Chains A and B, each alone.
Chain A
Amino acid sequence: MAGILVFSDRTNLALEILTAAGVIGGTAKVLVINNDEQAQALSDAGADVYKLSNDDISLADVGQVAEVLKEAAEKLNADIILLSSNRRGKELAGRLAQKIGAGCLTDVSAINVNGDKIECQRNALGGATVATQYINGDKKVIAVSPRSFAPFAGSGGSINEIDITIPASTVKVLEVKPKAADTVDIAAAEKLVIVGQGLNSKDDIPMIEELAAKIGAEVACSKPVATDKKWFSEEHVVGLSGKICKPELAIILGVSGQVQFTVGIRDAKVIAAVNTDENATINTMADYVLTADLHEVVKEMNEILG
């Protein structure tokens, strides 16, 4: 079986990809760039780590990191490169694939080996369908969606050094502004109260939070509520470019139900939808449909639930 090279800037995602590598089979080696803590954590988990320490490398320079991965893959005899499908990983995937002449699949949520084919699943048509695809040829770049595989836990890891020299980066980082820490994990929540653009104003958020607290749910939202209105951080977004959630219960308020949203919630066990439009698409994928003003409904629910 072909050698596999694993890389992610995030340790938790690197662990998930190691599990994906296990599904493919063969031996996986992990590249760690300028991050001793990550090298230690991954080897503790049982991975064979190849640690690269070179201050000329900047993770912000996708072209340069792609070059580093190409060289690392050659040195470590890997034809298959597994990346994380977070933003950095996705951006890197296409550049690296082009550089090494590989086919590439991003946002891969499941992998199944069928003979000599590595069949990958990813959402297509904005999430309306799920495509099963494989890469032709020996060289493959696969970017794996976060939370699609359990973190790897093995033993007998090692830390090795790898040396790659490369010209200094041309992308200059001027400033890094960490986003305010947001500890919500809607992808892991058992219950979600999800608001869309049907919500009138930011001032209505407290009653949504009150409802969520009463039933032990997290509050989530559709994308425009976060990216356009900025009422919530992007951590709260359900959908194709947000989080894929599988709660027991989703109460969906004032969301129209476009495919890029519904792909993030279609695996919920029970869905209740509240929308003023009785023909809203969201109603076709709900177990309980209430045609009403969400503000009234939330007020009433808060009263009933006491």
Chain B
Amino acid sequence: MNVVVAMKQIPDLQQIRIKNRQPVFDDVPLTFGSIDKNALEAGVNLKENGLADKVIVLSAGNEDLEDTIKEALAAGADEAFLILGDDLNGAESSVIAQVLTAGIKQIEDVGLILFGEGSGDNYSGQVGSRVAEILGWPQVGYAGAVKVEGNKAVVTRVLEDAEEVVEVSLPAVITVVSGINEARIPSVTQILKAGKKPKEIVEEDELDEINKDALITTVSNLAPESDRKRVVVKSTAELVDKLKSENMI
């Protein structure tokens, strides 16, 4: 069985500047969402434990993905399946879910698709659930542990007030929480070697029947206004005085 890991290319959020409350993306490097890296690590762990044959990263985005993908191939993925389209970076969840599903249908012997519980930028937690529905597969979200036993997966779902251990038959969709593992950081040599790993690249317009109707309209997307004093204090005593003068302590 092969494990597919869905990873989203996103701008490095720490490097986005805000100008007149608008986010500025110029020169901001692209990377994968951090929880998606945990999903990849979970897939690679299954393979390393002999529970999966290949780990294939599936990603939809613009052409920069051909470069970004090296990060995932260096971190242990065997192959990449990329769907490229100019408008795929930042496309809405309903479109991405259809595009990814079309990709999954072209990959052989998929037993498990791993997602992050939320993408780094949008964090809407929809894409995994939508893909599961299109495929008609069972899903388990918020996995803090995944075990594969024969044609079943035993998954610990981390909820707010409880952990729920469930068993589902494969194939299935699983989304993971960041606490599931600590994702490895690939070395420079691994990154250099990653360029040689197999990549299948499909153009978005080669896929059939993607319904691109916009289901969501964005009216505005602005940074909240903030006016902080930013007073630099020199000592703990001075800090205590300041907080006392504001009647805070």
Contact = CB atoms under 8 A, between A and B. Distances in A.
B239 A272 contact: yes
Interface string B104-147: 00000000000001101111111111101110111111100000
Contacts of B226: 266, 285
Interface residues of B, number: 82
A141 to B, nearest CB: 9
A87 B142 contact: yes
Contacts of A281: 14
Contacts of A178: 161-162
A130 B139 contact: no
Contacts, number: 245
B215 interface: yes
A114 B64 CA distance: 38
B239 A136 contact: no
Contacts of A71: none
A135 B215 contact: yes
A130 B224 contact: yes
A91 B215 contact: no
B166 interface: yes
A14 B79 CA distance: 44
Interface stretch (A32-40, A44-52, A73-81, A290-298): A290-298
B16 A128 contact: yes
B243 A106 contact: no
Contact of A98 (B120, B133, B222, B234): B133
Secondary structure at the A interface, as helix, strand, loop or mixed, is mixed
A255 B164 CA distance: 31
A41 interface: no
A290 B232 CA distance: 6
A284 B17 CA distance: 13
B191 interface: no
A248 interface: yes
A260 B12 CA distance: 12
B159 interface: yes
B110 to A, nearest CB: 17
A123 B118 CA distance: 13
Interface in B154-181: 154, 157-169, 175, 177-179
Given A91-B175, A97-B130, A272-B239, 20 more contacts: A62-B139, A87-B158, A94-B125, A94-B127, A94-B133, A98-B129, A117-B217, A125-B11, A128-B18, A129-B222, A131-B220, A133-B217, A135-B216, A171-B167, A173-B164, A176-B165, A228-B178, A241-B123, A274-B239, A300-B237
What 4 A-B pairs come out closest when comparing CB atoms?
A: A103-B215, A94-B129, A94-B126, A91-B141
